[in-house]
Structure 1
Amino acid sequence: MSWGTETALVAGTGHLPALLLAAKPDMLICEMEGFAPAVEGGARLSFRVERLVPFLDALVEGGIRQVVFAGAMQRPRLDPELFDPKTATLVPRLLGAMQAGDDATLRAVIEIFEEWGLSVVGADAIAPDLVPGAGVLTGDVTAADRKDAARAAQIVAALGAVDVGQGAIVAQGLCLAVESLPGTDAMLAFAAAHKGLRPDPAGAKGVFYKAPKPMQDRRIDLPAIGPQTVENVALAGLAGLAWEAGGVMLLDRAETLRAAQEHGLFLWAREP
């Protein structure tokens, strides 16, 4: 069976899968059972991790040559009874990677797809405009904001080195919160609930900074911000958002810029 396209989209939840489909509508949509993405499209193929090898075989036999991963996807509960013999041989490898952290897991997944002759590409290869170049997109960045962003970048690099998170909030040189397993929204909610941590209430409001992990394979799980991120940054009482230029996707650019302008926040793609 031919899928009529050479590109497959392994789609999770969130806005990114739909944005990529808008850029390349003919992609085969692959969805993990139990985590169906809210995207419209033509050809679709569901899969389970327990039957990964038959899924990969179906992609290759159907003419798929490249794969892009997009959207959030929780780790599924695995049912040992559903493993086929060939996929079962991959279990020790996958479990070992999962125990080493998210980055190791994603690298293992990429390696397996490549062993089937499938090229794994980043979301920015499908929609390059999603990753802004360096510069201030809106708002004003003060000298204090630049210092806070530099400090946050140091913290994010340290967190990423041990595969913990991709974001941090710094105000007046102090780290108010870091991103961990609960994610960006939880970190910003914590900062919103603890605004009194700033030593000088009249001083710099603080910066949320986001960047890929130092050793991260940028073809998969590239960080992203969007309108909801801006709303949460505003609720946290921060001055704005900064991120590593070329390393973070900006979703719904027009709406994100509008929201930032409405709240008086800056958006800054910062040179590494």
Structure 2
Amino acid sequence: MTRAVGLIAGNGIFPILFARSARASGYRVVAVAHEGETDPAIEQHCDSVTWVKLGQLGKIVRAFEKEGVREAAMAGGIAKVRVFGGIWPDLLALKHMSKVRNWGNDDLLRTIAGVFEEEGVTIIDPARVCPEIVAREGCYTRRRPSEELWEDIRLGYRVATAVSEADIGQTVCVKRGNVVAVEAMEGTDRCIRRAGEVGGKGFVVVKVAKPGQDVRFDLPTIGPTTIETLAAAGAAVMAFPAGLAYVLDEAATVAAADRAGIALVGLA
């Protein structure tokens, strides 16, 4: 029997790209998709899809048990603001909610991963199945940052590292030595749009992983829709850590950045 891999799918294109890559590598993909978050097109790319409400951990475990899944990856995000509403915890989730010290991404996701492992499902790094998504060092695009932009990148990296260490967000936007936007609960896209509104065109976006980041979930992710947001807001550069970020659908992402005149840089 073909080996099964589980997919806990959030929003965006990452779940579909993961499923395509997994099937191309010979896996049978058993997905659990979240209502109101996951693209319904996921059903075209998986061998099995179970739809759940956010918080139905028991239903996820039962779906994986039924299909013989012992390893699963998380791919795609969930809107952070849903921690304040829109969660339907089942008995398994309620049993473990008291273990969550705070509701920041890192602690919450580690707790959820621990629940699955107690139930016999190991959460794996998605790059084990699709290693081509891992960001590499260097400039991806025709446009390369000027020295002035590099100064903003360095400042943005320092600030973003501090912000991510506090589990607040991953993204900081800088222009001419000024921090113009910092990501919090609103997410990366809204942070970038706010930077364009506040600072105008020509700003730098730096997205980082948290120090000591668990690579199984919530690494910085850049894809074609990220470029659309950057272009609409007037960003000049997007920088991210090599080895600790994902570039999704690289050919399409780089082509879109080149058309928009945006530099994409993987930082050592």
Same fold (TM over 0.5): yes
Q: Which has the larger radius of gyration?
A: 1
Cα deviation digits, residues 68-87 of structure 1 (max 9, x gap): 0111224463457xx44x55
1:190 aligns with 2:194: yes
- Measured after TM superposition, the shift of residue 241 of structure 1 is 1.0
Q: Which runs of 5+ in 2 are unaligned?
A: none
Q: Normalising by the residue count of structure 1, what TM-score does the alignment of the two structures yield?
A: 0.85
2: distance between equivalents of 1:268 and 1:164? 23
Report the counterpart of residue 102 of structure 1 in structure 2: 105
Native 8 Å contact 1:60 1:116 kept in 2: no
Report the counterpart of residue 97 of structure 2 in structure 1: 91
Alignment of 1:1-272 (within 5 A): 5-25=3-23, 26-38=28-40, 39=42, 40=44, 41-48=46-53, 51-53=56-58, 55-60=60-65, 62-74=67-79, 75=82, 77-79=86-88, 83-84=90-91, 87-93=93-99, 96-97=100-101, 99-138=102-141, 139-195=143-199, 205-271=202-268
Cα deviation digits, residues 61-116 of structure 1 (max 9, x gap): 53211010111224463457xx44x55422322xx34x341211001011111222
Cα deviation digits, residues 208-253 of structure 1 (max 9, x gap): 1111112331101221112222232233333211111111111221
Q: What SS does structure 2 have at the residue aligned with 1:64?
A: coil
C-alpha spacing 1:7/1:140, structure 2 compared with 1 (3 Å) = same
Cα deviation digits, residues 180-207 of structure 1 (max 9, x gap): 11111111111221235x9xxxxxx331
Q: Which runs of 5+ in 1 are unaligned?
A: 199-204
Native 8 Å contact 2:55 2:88 kept in 1: yes
- Measured after TM superposition, the shift of residue 144 of structure 1 is 1.5
**AA at the equivalent of 2:70:** R
RMSD: 2.3
C-alpha spacing 1:150/1:234, structure 2 compared with 1 (3 Å) = same
2: distance between equivalents of 1:107 and 1:218? 11
Percent of residue pairs identical: 29
- Measured after TM superposition, the shift of residue 167 of structure 1 is 0.6
Q: What SS does structure 2 have at the residue aligned with 1:194?
A: helix
Q: Normalising by the residue count of structure 2, what TM-score does the alignment of the two structures yield?
A: 0.86
